[in-house]
Each structure stands twice: as structure tokens, then as C-alpha cells.
């Protein structure tokens, strides 16, 4: 069994032009159409059992439509969707209640697309609100090719936030998931500042990019129970990333935890 914990789809009506826009903005090429049907056929090809879709609310006015769509596709035919919120939304507490009541397991944040430093008070309020409600938070972390001039989540500011969120706790329960092994393109600093902290890392986009010895070192130092298999489909190919993951010299226990068990516990799937 395998869960891809980091994927993107867009409603059919806007998928084509959104993918074209993002391809141009980030200088990337999509490996799937960016639709729900496209993700499902990619999962079939790659033999992936579940995918977690991560929508980004890029302006406060999108809150309703994004979360309505997330709730619509969540929990059906191998698809789970997180919700989304923007740090400039009004009534953050009420909006987090809405997300919780829609049955979504968590939210996605993207500090670059949301133009907010990750250690800003506005994010901290959202993070504390999610923690209180048992919602998970998955955030983009590190460099984003669409925003080359400034990175709003760095290993350094993320480390400060994680420590503040779990200050004084003896047995912290991680609920924050930092994408891209803690920080895309900053693996060395991620290893220096984030490894060992109570947060998850996903493997989106970094498979085949981070040197294999470093990847294995980070997995073992951070702990197999805080790593989630992920691709960032359509921006990476699920088939190629799964083949890369399958070929890694991991133990059976490590593989099982990263591919399925950790994600299943978050999503409430059977062990």
C-alpha cells in the first residue's frame, strides 16, 4: 500500500489554463493534466493507492470555493483533500471551524503564494488554531521556482516556529508537515536546523534531486515515523518517483512507515 501525500488537482473548468500559467511561471512541465481524472489515471499507472490533494488559497476570497471543492472530492475513490486558508482571511477561528466541520483532515499553506513570512504572527495564529482542533498543516517549504527572488519559509524560520508550537511539551505530537524534506533546495540547512524536531517532512519533488546518501541520512536522523512519501504530481511523475523510492535501500519497516503507515495514521485509514 502506498499513499502519495502531496499532489495537486484543479477543478475541470480551470485546470488547463492554471497548469499552463504555472508551467510558465515556474518554468516547469506538468506530468499529468492537473484534473482529478488525470490524477486518478496517473495513480493507476503508478500503482498508488491514495493521493492527498493540496489546494492553495492564493487570496482570501477563494476560501469558500477552494474548500467546497476540497470537501467534494475528499474521501472518495482513493482521494483525500486538505483544505486551505489565507493568512489575510477574516475570522480565522470561524474558518478553521468550517474546515473541521467539512471533515477535512488538515490545511495547506504556501508562504510564497500567500506573500507572508512563515514566522509571521498571522501564520502562528492559524497553526495554533489547527493544533487545537486536531487539524494537520502541510506547508510548502524552501525555494519555489515561481518566486525566485524571495523564500518565505526557510529552515531557520521554520525551526523557530516548530519549537514555539511545541514549547515545554515533553512528548510533542507532530502536526506540521514541511514539504520537500523540510526545505526545497536547502537540504543542507534543513539537515542542520530541522532534523529531529517534532514535524513531518514529505518527499515531494526531492526524490532524485537530494543525493541518496543525504536522503537516507536525513530519514534516519529525523526518524522514519515523521517522513511521508510524496511526489508533487503533476509537477513530478508518480511512476518515476515511486520507482525511485522502491529502489532506495530502506528496511522493510522504514519503507512501510514512509509509504503508508505514517500517512494512514494522519488520514484515519486502517493500519
| Chain residues in the site for Zn ion (CB under 5 A) | 232
Of 139 and 166, nearer to Zn ion (C-beta) is: 139
Of 56 and 216, nearer to Zn ion (C-beta) is: 56
Of 138 and 258, nearer to Zn ion (C-beta) is: 138
For the record, the C-alpha cell of 14 comes out as 480551470
Smallest distance from Zn ion to CB 144, Å = 9
Of 119 and 232, nearer to Zn ion (C-beta) is: 232
196 phi, psi to nearest 5 deg: 95, -15
Smallest distance from Zn ion to CB 221, Å = 24
Of 232 and 241, nearer to Zn ion (C-beta) is: 232
Give the CB-nearest residue to Zn ion: 232
Residues contacting 31, CB < 8 A, separation 6+ = 42, 233, 234, 235, 236, 237, 238
Of 66 and 250, nearer to Zn ion (C-beta) is: 66
Smallest distance from Zn ion to CB 52, Å = 11
Smallest distance from Zn ion to CB 179, Å = 6
> Can you tell me the distance from the alpha carbon of 9 to that of 40, in angstroms, rounded to the nearest whole number?
10
Smallest distance from Zn ion to CB 165, Å = 22
Smallest distance from Zn ion to CB 73, Å = 16
122 phi, psi to nearest 5 deg: -65, -40
Amino acid at each position: 500500500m502506498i499513499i502519495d501525500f502531496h499532489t495537486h488537482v484543479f477543478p475541470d473548468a480551470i485546470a488547463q489554463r492554471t497548469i499552463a500559467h504555472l508551467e510558465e511561471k515556474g518554468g516547469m512541465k506538468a506530468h499529468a493534466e492537473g484534473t482529478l481524472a488525470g490524477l486518478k489515471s496517473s495513480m493507476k499507472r503508478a500503482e498508488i493507492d491514495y493521493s492527498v490533494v493540496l489546494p492553495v488559497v492564493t487570496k482570501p476570497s477563494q476560501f469558500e470555493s477552494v474548500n467546497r471543492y476540497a470537501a467534494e472530492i475528499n474521501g472518495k475513490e482513493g482521494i483525500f483533500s486538505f483544505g486551505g486558508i489565507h493568512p489575510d482571511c477574516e475570522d480565522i477561528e470561524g474558518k478553521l471551524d468550517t474546515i473541521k466541520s467539512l471533515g477535512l483532515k488538515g490545511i495547506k499553506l504556501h508562504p510564497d503564494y500567500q506573500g507572508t513570512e512563515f514566522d509571521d504572527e498571522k501564520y502562528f495564529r492559524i497553526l495554533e488554531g489547527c493544533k487545537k482542533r486536531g487539524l494537520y498543516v502541510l506547508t510548502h517549504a524552501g525555494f519555489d521556482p515561481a518566486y525566485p527572488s524571495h523564500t518565505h519559509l526557510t529552515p531557520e524560520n521554520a525551526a523557530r516556529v516548530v519549537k514555539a508550537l511545541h514549547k515545554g511539551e515533553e512528548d510533542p505530537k507532530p502536526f506540521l508537515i514541511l514539504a520537500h524534506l523540510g526545505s526545497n533546495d536547502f537540504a543542507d540547512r534543513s539537515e542542520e536546523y530541522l532534523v529531529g524536531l517534532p514535524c513531518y517532512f514529505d518527499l515531494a519533488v526531492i526524490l532524485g534531486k537530494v543525493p541518496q546518501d543525504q536522503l537516507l541520512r536525513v530519514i534516519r536522523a529525523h526518524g522514519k515515523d515523521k517522513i511521508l512519501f510524496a511526489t508533487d504530481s503533476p509537477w513530478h511523475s508518480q511512476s518515476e518517483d515511486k520507482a525511485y523510492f522502491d529502489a532506495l535501500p530502506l528496511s522493510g519497516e522504514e519503507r512501510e512507515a514512509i509509504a503508508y503507515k505514517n500517512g494512514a495514521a494522519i488520514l484515519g485509514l486502517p493500519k
